[in-house]
């Protein structure tokens, strides 16, 4: 990673390596025996005075803390953020002023619906939470991989989560929304229409955390040192582009490798292929708040990038894995209310509710008010106040004074004025009657759902229809299914008709939308496409052409791809010229769904079982629209499979031309023309 940043140096105090050390109790007493409890004779009762047994067992009994109600399944990494250009014109936030300053960050990715033990490649929104350890305090950008949300007001958040979680009478299904209560909620809370379009799209089954966009979701404010404010939305753009799995592939991955996403992130960082994300902001002037055909404070609406361009202002690099998942990933406490001078809130009613909910959640989950003192949550700057005591207090406050105002400590700690970096809330004029109501401008639930549909490629539209067909196909109540069909006829008649017949519902004959606007930025087909870090399964047997295969593997690596050899058994595979390569996987442990592409080679000593496994491997990868390259025996296999002329299938005798075409095919991610 290079030089340690300030957060790493701070964490060093808390790291420990027990190798080579003598065992002690938690209080430092050396332990002479850790196999047998203290007894009254060899066959006697265990004695109450066995303090080592009691401490060890008590700690074990309390090792588990309550998992997060949502976002329980998560994985995280450390990194740093580097600014491209000063944002002084818009904000006085210190970490957005000087491009020469690197800010430590901690990022946690997560699924929303499943419990801590659920699989990762499920259809779900993903959390994308970033903690910036700035010199002015911690700033938390707590977002998702989808720019909008299901509801408009935080009062309905418990209802949403109750509906999407396993149904209480049978605790099923886990980590899935394909059941009656969720879709009943959707049909009867139609503000969810836009978000559901995203969750039914490929965005909800990302290829990896490294190829997933992040969004702040809410509208925030930038405030500069003149007191001028701008509305702002935050975006994380993955340098590798935004790419997804296909549904059949995702379901199989969950059975073969339920840790697929965390494993991908961990191994990438360990290999030095550091995930990178560029930070972008959309900025709207205060006097332009009502200049759009949507309400900019509505969390079920996005700001189309064609209307409000995304300004790229910096890059985040994740370059170190955690040392301990519990101490860091599980105990990290994010909160959208953790802001610093220069970043403030808007009146988005969902955001306003989150400002209460997150603190309330951490109090029960982390056992009290001192969770900010845990190493992963501690700011890198000093903190001083009159808060005292509570569970797990680590700070040892000296002196008798713990109140404000005081004379015994010269009225310290004292408040800081705005000119000294003190946080001051933006002075927005607020007036009105106390009401339980919602702005009329929040009542358009379908136009941006239609915008999303209009923006999709033909392949993406088919995937959305298939997703609705699967999800609603699991719903048992006919009325709920029909309600959803009728609801989405307001979004797109083509969409509603596309899945209505598949689920046994009455096909709507009228409806649709007069919205013709689209946003090309919403289609993953327009995302950057690179071969970097793409895995290539090399199907190899004894008797291969050593010089040719070595040349192709080197060329793939030079372009950033990661070839891994799959064979009948682990061990050495020998070429006709004596070249030896080592198998990384067998067909049992290296299934096609775990790779991005295939290079089928074979060899002179291909067994009947190898042939059967290779053919299944190729056909499955082909059905998932992956790039396939073939030479030697591999060419025979693709001919037998009748796919040699299909899009994304590469073969030929000119080795240099072959490898260049294969790299291009791999970079494309998927070849959807096969489906269409």
* Residue 133 · residue 193 · CB < 8 Å: no
Closest CA to 525 of 626, 450, 454, 457: 457
Q: Which helix (H) or strand (E) holds 664?
A: helix 655-667
> How big is the chain by its Cα radius of gyration, in Å?
28
> pLDDT by residue (tens digit) across 455-506?
999 999 999 999 999 999 999 999 999 999 999 999 999 999 999 999 999 9
> pLDDT by residue (tens digit) across 134-173?
999 999 999 999 999 999 999 999 999 999 999 999 999 9
Environment class of 608 (CB within 10 Å of its CB; exposed 0-12, middle 13-18, buried 19+): exposed
Closest CA to 426 of 337, 346, 355, 335: 346
Residues 6+ apart with CB under 8 A from 44: none
- State the pLDDT at residue 435: 85
The second-level CATH assignment, the architecture, of 529-674 is 3-Layer(aba) Sandwich (3.40)
**103 vs 140: CA distance, rounded Å:** 13
In the chain, count H helices and then E strands.
16, 18
- State the pLDDT at residue 3: 64
pLDDT average, residue stretch 199-221: 98
Q: Is the pLDDT of residue 1 over 80?
A: no
> pLDDT by residue (tens digit) across 387-425?
999 998 999 999 999 989 999 999 999 888 889 899 989
CB atoms within 10 A of CB 445: 20
Q: Is the pLDDT of residue 564 over 80?
A: yes
Read off the tokens for 598: 């295939």
> pLDDT by residue (tens digit) across 68-123?
999 999 999 999 999 999 999 999 999 999 999 999 999 999 999 999 999 999 99
Q: Is the pLDDT of residue 2 over 80?
A: no
Residue tagged active-site, from 5, 52, 71, 463: 71
Q: Is the pLDDT of residue 23 over 90?
A: no
Distances (CA, A) of 672 to 390, 545, 555, 625, 627: 57, 32, 26, 6, 11
Q: Which CATH class is domain 74-182+208-373?
A: mainly beta
Distances (CA, A) of 114 to 68, 72, 155, 210, 300: 10, 7, 22, 21, 23
What percentage of the chain reaches a pLDDT higher than 70?
A: 100
CB atoms within 10 A of CB 15: 11
**445 vs 439: CA distance, rounded Å:** 13
Q: Enumerate the β-bridge partners of residue 221.
A: 231, 344
Higher per-residue pLDDT: 676 or 246:
246
> From 3.40.1110.10, 3.40.630.10, 3.40.50.620, 1.20.1370.20, which CATH number describes the 445-525 domain?
1.20.1370.20
Active site annotation includes 372: no
* Residue 152 · residue 441 · CB < 8 Å: no
Q: Where are the domains of the chain?
A: 33-63, 74-182+208-373, 445-525, 529-674
Environment class of 195 (CB within 10 Å of its CB; exposed 0-12, middle 13-18, buried 19+): buried
Q: Average pLDDT of the chain?
A: 95
Active site annotation includes 224: no
The SS3 of residue 215 is: strand
Residue tagged active-site, from 144, 321, 338, 370: 144
**80 vs 130: CA distance, rounded Å:** 11
Read off the tokens for 298: 């509505």
Q: Which helix (H) or strand (E) holds 132?
A: strand 126-134
Query: What pTM, to 2 d.p., does this model score?
Result: 0.94
**672 vs 210: CA distance, rounded Å:** 22
pLDDT average, residue stretch 6-18: 90
Residues 6+ apart with CB under 8 A from 162: 181
* DSSP character at residue 37: -
């Amino acid at each position: 990673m290079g030089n340690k940043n300030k957060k790493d140096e701070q964490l060093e105090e808390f790291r420990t390596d027990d190798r080579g050390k003598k065992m002690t109790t938690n209080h430092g007493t050396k332990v002479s025996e850790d196999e047998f409890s203290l007894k009254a004779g060899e066959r006697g009762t265990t004695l109450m005075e066995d303090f080592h047994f009691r401490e060890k067992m008590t700690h074990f009994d309390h090792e588990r803390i309550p998992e997060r109600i949502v976002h329980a399944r998560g994985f995280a990494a450390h990194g740093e953020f580097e600014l491209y250009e000063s944002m002084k014109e818009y904000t006085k936030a210190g970490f957005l002023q000087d491009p020469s300053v690197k800010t430590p960050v901690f990022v946690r990715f997560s699924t929303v619906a499943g419990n801590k033990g659920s699989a990762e490649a499920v259809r779900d929104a993903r959390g994308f939470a970033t903690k910036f350890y700035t010199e002015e305090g911690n700033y938390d950008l707590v977002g998702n991989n989808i720019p909008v949300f299901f509801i408009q007001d935080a009062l309905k958040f418990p209802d949403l989560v109750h509906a999407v979680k396993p149904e209480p009478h049978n605790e099923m299904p886990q980590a899935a929304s394909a059941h009656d209560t969720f879709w009943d909620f959707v049909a009867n809370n139609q503000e969810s229409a836009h978000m559901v379009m995203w969750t039914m799209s490929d965005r909800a089954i990302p290829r990896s955390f490294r190829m997933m966009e992040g969004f702040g979701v809410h509208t925030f404010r930038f405030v500069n040192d003149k007191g001028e404010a701008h509305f702002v939305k935050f975006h994380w753009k993955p340098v590798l582009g935004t790419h997804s799995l296909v549904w059949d592939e995702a379901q199989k991955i969950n059975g073969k490798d339920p840790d697929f996403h965390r494993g991908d992130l961990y191994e990438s960082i360990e290999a030095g292929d550091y995930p990178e994300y560029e930070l972008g902001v959309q900025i709207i002037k205060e006097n332009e708040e009502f200049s759009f055909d949507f309400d900019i404070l509505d969390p079920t609406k996005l700001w189309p990038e064609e209307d409000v361009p995304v300004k790229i202002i910096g890059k985040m690099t994740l370059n170190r894995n955690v040392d301990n998942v519990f101490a860091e990933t599980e105990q990290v406490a994010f909160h959208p209310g953790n802001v610093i001078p220069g970043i403030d809130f808007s009146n988005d009613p969902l955001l306003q509710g989150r400002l209460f909910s997150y603190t309330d959640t951490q109090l029960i989950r982390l056992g009290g008010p001192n969770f900010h003192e845990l190493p992963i949550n501690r700011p890198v700057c000093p903190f001083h106040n009159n808060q005292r005591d509570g569970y797990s207090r680590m700070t040892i406050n000296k002196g008798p004074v713990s109140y404000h105002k005081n004379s015994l400590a010269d009225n310290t700690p004292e408040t800081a004025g705005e000119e000294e970096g003190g946080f001051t809330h933006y002075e927005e004029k607020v007036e009105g009657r106390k009401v339980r109501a919602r702005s009329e401008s929040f009542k358009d639930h379908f136009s941006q759902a239609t915008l999303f549909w209009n923006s999709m490629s033909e392949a993406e539209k088919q995937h959305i229809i298939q997703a609705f067909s699967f999800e609603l196909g699991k719903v048992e109540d006919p009325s709920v299914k029909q309600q959803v069909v009728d609801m989405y006829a307001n979004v797109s008649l083509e969409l509603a008709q596309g899945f209505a017949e598949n689920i046994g519902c009455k096909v709507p004959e009228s409806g649709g939308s007069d919205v013709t606007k689209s946003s090309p930025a919403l289609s993953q087909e327009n995302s950057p496409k690179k071969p970097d870090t793409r895995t290539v399964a090399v199907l190899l047997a004894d008797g291969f052409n050593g010089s040719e295969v070595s040349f192709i593997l080197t060329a793939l690596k030079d372009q950033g791809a990661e070839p891994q050899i799959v064979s009948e058994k682990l061990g050495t595979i020998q070429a006709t010229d004596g070249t030896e390569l080592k198998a990384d996987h067998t067909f049992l442990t290296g299934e096609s769904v775990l790779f991005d592409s295939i290079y089928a080679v074979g060899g002179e000593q291909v067994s009947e079982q190898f042939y059967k496994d290779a053919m299944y491997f190729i056909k499955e990868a082909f059905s998932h629209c992956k790039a396939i390259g073939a030479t030697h025996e591999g060419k025979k296999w693709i001919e037998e499979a009748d796919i040699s002329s299909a899009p994304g299938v590469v073969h030929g005798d000119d080795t240099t031309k072959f490898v260049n075409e294969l790299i291009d095919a791999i970079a494309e991610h998927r070849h959807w023309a096969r489906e269409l």
